Structure 1
């Protein structure tokens, strides 16, 4: 989802990829190097696919679905949290592991896969298989561990037999909580299973990152080897567009699979009867999206193993092209000789790195790049969750909005920035000025987003007191009206709505002793009568207060304004993408341009994308009112302080954008000072020359006469 330019594989010299044809080699390419096929089989029918267009099509689909896999995971964050009792910081850590895998594989695989004798499509195919394994690992816990168990108070809602389930959700002084008794066996096993499942998911995220990392660099190198000059830039743009398209596809896949119950294929439908995808307790078939992704990755990876090291048509057409210097690390040329150009580049690396570290403008541009990476990866990871928590949306609607309110505007902003740069051709100072304006506008919208949202819903014992009493200094689900009910602990969150518009943690916490056939509750000791039905005539008794399943509806009309501000925020912030690249390439020597772009991306991954999803998750956890617990261990958050949630997310976002604004402002100031000094020097030099010429003329004037 990142709209920034992904650097080609290059060393400090700025040269990209391998020579199209080794001018020093006298041997003819072998059949294996020029023909489509697998191992020693090269049937004639496959040779029609030995085309650069076919290769780019396959890789584009692979990139599209790799972005979709991330979007599927991000779109189902709340579902995964509920299923395996994970906190937001744990989800953020797993997202960071994707970045770690990407950074490691980009360095290692592009070194070996970038050698002139390597068969790059095979390395890309291995990346596709790694993506398939990573996606399959995400779904593995679903088939290894027992089916998901609903909390007892939720089972009451979906059970037609109240004999054994009633005690879990109704007020009963003799029932006991039962939590401590079961914690020694079944619940402890569930806790262990959840911990193992989380480890498997993290490993899956790492493998997704490992598979994704080398796709774009090796693809661009292969295209550059086999296409006409100037085609690589077009291919880069096409590949980058796949990230936005893939994110939209992934969010829609997430919306589709969540409509199915998580264990629809192995448990009786009566298990979840009475629940719908709009209910808080619904857990959708999140794993199905990853199964789809794994199958697609596997199918797309296989053809890549059949592409030759060099395409035959390009080989015939490009024999006369002058070879370009190899710049992908140590390797061998077509004759098996050591690549001395690569050795030279390797020796130049320390000097190039030192030049970049001394370049203040480059470092400031990297700082702005780091903040952008932190924002993109962090907000993308939690944006659907934010929509669900803040506006009470179901997973389907949250993903639908995320797919069209975040990704397309970001692409539009990047396009606008590119058009501005192309039209006005700004230098460092002009590009920095565009970055400042972009950051100021984005910061303004981020501040506005801190105040556009919903108020906390009225939840007894959490945001309001029981029976109209004042809420104490801390959250407490117990009150005098339910003390004797022996309610289950916070492991059984099942919201119920009272006639007074207050949501209760469960029917037991509302003090309800009976349930009717139509699934409403009566004899609820904690409920206040509905003011609308209360009569001033003391001789007329008001109807008994009843409780119904689900959250109480609450009015929040700010969703449209939030989406509009979010779209404007994404457009303005992403419009600085192209100006930032102009600053980087204009502030370094020509020989360091590609290397500078690569270093800036590595810094963005390691300092921005790696730690900040976890940091965002930790800040989100700090806004939790009530945690779901299992055997005394904290699981997922069941009730958030949505006002603090909003301030936390966009407060941190505002701070990061402010840092970006300061970085661009510092670049503008430094560039202006340097330009001023250069102008003064030039002017003084011209004045001195004029005086010297005048003096010489005065001295020679008498003799001329």
Structure 2
């Protein structure tokens, strides 16, 4: 008899190097700790892109649609490799494979930061040290104070810089998706194979809890790095200045390097902690392998067809896709939405989302899980638990849509359309169309320093402005001092997010139990793949298109059109929330149908007693424990 493993294979180390002092770490607890840290870093890196959308668009001149396509690249890589990774879980050394996937994550983060080094923006310090001769030229020339913002929005002024940046970040996001694909199925299998059945959920819960805090860290560090200028030089302009570009690349670099460093310990764990060697299976002939592979492929399609034939499962799948696509479209541009609607710098929106959005998801998820544990969920009760929170969520979305600040008003620009640009306050001036809003001390916004009648100044302060009583203006739109709707929006969204997240666990339970036992894994796989392909993949792209549809002024013209400089706030709000409301309303209709179909169902398919629903795999776990006891008794 030939063995596929020996004593060394169950020890921590690499190849023949397995020192005794390292064996104190040869436990599932240490693996959970090491893998939990990597999950924290990888989830942070995945969400960090969302926190820096505005900054990246400003440096490289991306539209929001293009930014959405970049974020969707993550799910392209994930969808392409998730089935391959799941199939390979039984054939590879899982800890080392997880190590490689985390290293790939780190490489993707570093790759996303490379465009900054290839095409760095022009340092503002160089402009400060120059004489102000150019700024004091006659305003009859088209060169004026706002010329600098055009250079910044195009990156380095080279049209190729945006293309190179787009390609590198897209490749990095695809690699992120590839690295994400094996993590959940392989980590779950490794924990399940090396722990007692009842402990698997406990260790997975620790890992998932750490991963949930990743987005909070991403938003927190994103807010911190957004307050640092992109070149890391001290500058006199502030983050509210429309020319401000935060150090977006720092986060990709920090998370990328940290992921690579903390991935290394994973490779030192054994493929199994079991002391008893497993008997190696004899290799089957090639013809038999081919027939088995063909049979497996046919079996996958057959099982998928049988799963999708279950009406309740298919209806819930479509309802979940509708809910997730609306959520994904909004959350992909949530920082930008807050920045535009409430005239705040990027760092503030990141801090708000990190401080309130992520805790709301945690509370809702925990509450939903607690509810599924306390209640004896029959199909009818479970469908009601999924359906009822959707109605207040829809109402709260309507309420949030009605909480907003007024559109920023620009002097002499009543219509606020790109084909009706404002005239300078003095009729004898000719100003360019480059948009660089400035704020006067009396709270009046001007299209640019030229439109305010300014003839002197630096890039940080404009003086001798004939149209302003104080004679000077500062860059950026005036603050919304008379609008207090922001915290109402935060509070209402917090409650809505808690309610929405509370449905996640009941939905998971329903998906798992409404199908026969043999189709449980297939139901989870189909649900994950369908939501990734039809919700998370198109969601950011749709969100970007909705944001771009509300744009009034663009940097560049025609084919060289870059990022948006000024939005119609009402159109942006209606587009984002209108799409979300439509998706949620469709999901509510489908869930109402599910409630009707399961109204008289008092037990799950294949179960004899309706009380047999306290835990997901309770009957399976008990069966395995009884089998182990019988085996020990026989020995």
Normalized against structure 1, the TM-score is what?
A: 0.78
Q: Per-residue CA shift, 1:318-353, capped at 9, x if unaligned?
A: x8xxx9xxxxxxxx9544458999987655323311
Distance 1:84 1:205 in 2: 17
Distance 1:434 1:426 in 2: 9
Corresponding residue for 2:609? none
Residues 449 and 562 in structure 1, CA contact (< 8 A), matched pair in contact too = yes
Corresponding residue for 2:591? 664
Corresponding residue for 1:42? 18
Q: CA deviation at 1:632?
A: 5.8
Corresponding residue for 2:506? 579
Corresponding residue for 2:177? 209
Residues 53 and 336 in structure 2, CA contact (< 8 A), matched pair in contact too = yes
Q: CA deviation at 1:544?
A: 6.8
Q: Which of 561, 564, 573 is equivalent to 2:491?
A: 564
Q: CA deviation at 1:407?
A: 1.2
Residues 172 and 513 in structure 1, CA contact (< 8 A), matched pair in contact too = no
Distance 2:588 2:146 in 1: 56
Paired residues, number? 595
Q: Which of 458, 475, 490 is equivalent to 1:549?
A: 475
Q: CA deviation at 1:245?
A: 0.7
Distance 2:142 2:379 in 1: 76
Corresponding residue for 1:138? 112
Q: Which of 306, 329, 339 is equivalent to 1:355?
A: 306
Residues 212 and 358 in structure 2, CA contact (< 8 A), matched pair in contact too = yes
Q: Per-residue CA shift, 1:525-562, capped at 9, x if unaligned?
A: xx3x6xxxxxxxxxxxxx57543433223321101110
Q: CA deviation at 1:629?
A: 1.4
Q: Which of 284, 308, 322 is equivalent to 1:371?
A: 322
Distance 1:341 1:417 in 2: 41
SS at match of 2:75: helix
Corresponding residue for 1:285? 247
Corresponding residue for 1:161? 131
Distance 2:184 2:510 in 1: 23
Q: CA deviation at 1:94?
A: 0.9
Change (3 A) 1:347 1:33: farther
Q: Per-residue CA shift, 1:385-421, capped at 9, x if unaligned?
A: 1111111122222111101221111121122222222
Corresponding residue for 1:502? 444
Distance 2:534 2:517 in 1: 26
Residues 57 and 63 in structure 2, CA contact (< 8 A), matched pair in contact too = yes
Q: CA deviation at 1:210?
A: 1.0
Change (3 A) 1:628 1:563: same
Q: Which of 576, 586, 591 is equivalent to 2:518?
A: 591
Residues 459 and 502 in structure 1, CA contact (< 8 A), matched pair in contact too = yes
Q: Which of 390, 394, 397 is equivalent to 1:439?
A: 390
Corresponding residue for 1:243? 211
Q: CA deviation at 1:91?
A: 1.1
Corresponding residue for 2:65? 89
Corresponding residue for 1:303? 265
Q: CA deviation at 1:247?
A: 0.8
Residues 87 and 635 in structure 1, CA contact (< 8 A), matched pair in contact too = yes
Q: Does 1:479 align with 2:429?
A: no
Residues 171 and 509 in structure 1, CA contact (< 8 A), matched pair in contact too = no
Residues 462 and 472 in structure 2, CA contact (< 8 A), matched pair in contact too = yes
Distance 2:103 2:321 in 1: 30
Distance 2:355 2:199 in 1: 30
What does residue range 49-448 of structure 1 map to in structure 2 within 5 Å?
A: 49-112=25-88, 114-115=89-90, 117-148=91-122, 158=128, 161-167=131-137, 171-173=139-141, 190-264=158-232, 269=234, 273-311=235-273, 314-316=274-276, 334-336=281-283, 347-448=298-399
SS at match of 2:554: strand
Change (3 A) 1:625 1:159: farther
Q: Per-residue CA shift, 1:111-135, capped at 9, x if unaligned?
A: 22x12x4211111111011101100
Residues 216 and 355 in structure 2, CA contact (< 8 A), matched pair in contact too = yes
Q: CA deviation at 1:83?
A: 0.9
Distance 1:30 1:411 in 2: 43
Q: CA deviation at 1:178?
A: 12
Residues 414 and 574 in structure 1, CA contact (< 8 A), matched pair in contact too = yes
Change (3 A) 1:79 1:416: same
Q: CA deviation at 1:630?
A: 6.4
Residues 188 and 631 in structure 1, CA contact (< 8 A), matched pair in contact too = no
Q: CA deviation at 1:31?
A: 4.5
Distance 2:393 2:230 in 1: 39
Distance 1:545 1:118 in 2: 71
Change (3 A) 1:552 1:177: closer
Q: CA deviation at 1:367?
A: 1.3
Distance 1:604 1:510 in 2: 51
Distance 2:321 2:8 in 1: 43
Residues 226 and 315 in structure 1, CA contact (< 8 A), matched pair in contact too = no
Distance 1:630 1:624 in 2: 13
Normalized against structure 2, the TM-score is what?
A: 0.86
Corresponding residue for 1:3? none
Instruction: Flag structure 1 segments of 5+ consecutive residues without an equivalent.
Output: 1-24, 324-331, 466-470, 530-542, 679-705
Corresponding residue for 2:433? 489
Q: Please identify, of 545-554 and 405-414, the stretch whose mean Cα deviation from structure 2 is larger.
A: 545-554
Residues 413 and 575 in structure 1, CA contact (< 8 A), matched pair in contact too = yes
SS at match of 2:92: coil
Residues 119 and 155 in structure 2, CA contact (< 8 A), matched pair in contact too = no
SS at match of 1:240: helix
Distance 2:596 2:551 in 1: 43
Q: Per-residue CA shift, 1:471-501, capped at 9, x if unaligned?
A: 37755334264676443433xx322123553
Q: CA deviation at 1:453?
A: 1.5
Change (3 A) 1:516 1:56: closer
Distance 1:552 1:575 in 2: 39
Q: CA deviation at 1:438?
A: 1.0
Give the root-mean-square deviation of aligned CA atoms.
3.1
Q: Which of 428, 433, 452 is equivalent to 2:403?
A: 452
Q: Does 1:642 align with 2:569?
A: yes
Residues 64 and 245 in structure 1, CA contact (< 8 A), matched pair in contact too = yes
Residues 135 and 455 in structure 2, CA contact (< 8 A), matched pair in contact too = no
